[in-house]
Amino acid sequence: MMTTFLHKLMLTCEKASWFIEKNSQDRLTLWERMRLQTHLIVCRFCRLFNQQSRFIDKQLHHLINDPADLSSGPVLDDASKARLEKTVQQQLEIL
Amino acid sequence: MPEQKTCILSFRVFQYFVYSFLHMSKQRTTTSPCDPSTWVKNYADDLFRFAVTKVNDPALAEDLVQDSLLSALKALGQFKGESNEKTWLISILKNKIIDHYRNKARQREFPEHSLLYLQLDETETGNALFFDEQGSWRKDQRPLNWGGIDEEHPLDNPEFKKVLNHCLEKLPSNWLAVFKLKFMEAKESKEICKELSLSASNYWVIMHRAKLQLRACLEKKWFHSQQ
C-alpha cells in the first residue's frame, strides 16, 4: 500500500534509476533532482543502485582510460610480428 | 676608426653564429628521427598492449595495430620531429580504436538487437526484466549491499578487471561501443548522440539498460558470487 502510494506521488524505481544514470552524465532539472532526492530518502534499493552506479562508472573510467602499463602484459607472437613487418615493408616499397 | 671596425667585425661574428645556429636547427627538423623500418621491432608490443586494454580482443587489436602502422606510413609527412615517435603512433592507434567503435555503434542491423532497439525506443518498459508493472525492483533484481565499496577509488585488482570485462562483453556489441566511446572520448552526451546520429532518448535508454545489466552481472559474478 505504502509503496504504491509513494510511487504515485513520486518516482518509480525504474524512473529513479533512469534519473540516476542521467544525473551521472548530464544535469537534471531542479524538479527532477527534487523528485530523485525524495525517492532516494525512502528507497533503500535505489540508494544502493546510486552508490553502485557511481562505483561502476569509476571502474569503467579506470579500465578504459588509465594509461595502460605498457611494460607488461600480452605481447604479439613472432609470427604476427613477422606478418606486420612484411606489410610495413611492402607499403614502404610502394611509397 | 678602429672602434667602428671592431663593431662591424663583432656584428659579422654574431651574424655567423646566428646563421649557423639557424642552419643547424633547420637540419635537425628535416632529418626527423622517424624510421618506419624499425617500428615493428620497437613499438609493436607497446601498441598491441595499448589496443588490447581498450578493445579486450587480441585478434582485433592486431588488426588495429596494422591499420595504424599503414596509416602512419601514409602520413609520414605530417610527423613533426618534436613529438616522440611512439606517442605519435599511439595517438594514431587511439583514433583507429575510436573509429572502430563509432562504426560498431552505428550498426543497428543485428536482427536480435534491432528488436530490442524498437522495444526500447517506444517506451522505457524494455526493463521488464528488472522492474515489475508498478516500476518497482523485481524481488530477485533488487540491488544487494556490496559491502564497503569505495566510490572514489577504483579497485586495482586484475581479477576484478577480468570480471568487469566479461560483463562488458555480455552487452550487445553496439551498446558496448556507445559505452566505450563515452568513456574514451570524454564528450558530452549531446555530442556523442550527434556523432552517432542517435536520438537523445535512445542514448539514455542504452545507457540505462547497459548500466542495469552491468550492475546485475557484477553483483552475480563478483560481489555475491558464492551465493
Backbone angles phi, psi at B129, to 5 degrees: -65, -30
- Residue B31 and residue A51: Cα distance in Å, rounded? 55
The string of DSSP codes covering A42-69 is: H-HHHHHHHHHHHHHHHHHHHHHHSPP-
pLDDT band at B120 (very low <50, low <70, confident <90, very high): very low
Residues B80-99 have a mean pLDDT of 85
Set of cell numbers at residue B219 = 553483483
CB atoms B164 and A60 under 8 Å? yes
Given a cut of 70, whether residue A40 has pLDDT beyond it is yes
CB atoms A21 and B207 under 8 Å? yes
Choice between B71 and B6, residue whose per-residue pLDDT is larger: B71
pLDDT band at B7 (very low <50, low <70, confident <90, very high): low
CA B152 to chain centre: 22
Alpha helix stretches (DSSP H) within B31-84: 39-55, 58-74
Q: Are B85 and B91 in contact (CB under 8 A)?
A: no
Given a cut of 70, whether residue B158 has pLDDT beyond it is yes
Residues B65-77 have a mean pLDDT of 87
Chain B contact present for A13, CB below 8 A: yes
Task: Report CA torsion sign: B191, B214, B108, B66.
Answer: positive
To the nearest whole percent, how much of chain A has pLDDT over 90?
29
Residues A59-76 have a mean pLDDT of 76
Set of cell numbers at residue B38 = 624499425
Q: In this predicted structure, which of A3-12, B24-33, B134-143, B208-217 has the lowest mean pLDDT?
A: B24-33
Q: Are A56 and B207 in contact (CB under 8 A)?
A: no
* Helix pair angle (B173-185, B200-218), 10° resolution: 100
Chain B contact present for A37, CB below 8 A: no
Q: In chain B, which among 183-202 make CB contacts under 8 A with chain A?
A: 183-184, 186, 188-189
Listed in sequence order, the residues at least 6 apart from B223 whose beta carbon sits closer than 8 Å to its beta carbon are B144, B146, B147
Q: In this predicted structure, which of B37-41, B44-48, B139-143 has the lowest mean pLDDT?
A: B37-41
The angle at the Cα of B79, spanning B78 to B85, to the nearest 5 degrees, equals 160
**Contact residues, chain B, for A80 at CB < 8 Å:** 62
Q: Are B125 and B82 in contact (CB under 8 A)?
A: no
Q: Looking at residue A2, what is its pLDDT?
A: 63
- Which of B169, B215, B218 to mutate against chain A (most A CBs within 10 Å)? B215
Residues B121-140 have a mean pLDDT of 73
CB burial readout A38-47, b (16+ within 10 A) else e = ebbeebebbb
**Contact residues, chain A, for B69 at CB < 8 Å:** 84, 87-88
Q: Are B163 and B222 in contact (CB under 8 A)?
A: yes
Q: What element of type H or E holds B224?
A: none
Instruction: Quick: pLDDT tens for B189-209.
Output: 888 888 888 888 888 888 898
Given a cut of 50, whether residue B186 has pLDDT beyond it is yes
Q: Looking at residue A91, what is its pLDDT?
A: 80
Chain B contact present for A86, CB below 8 A: no
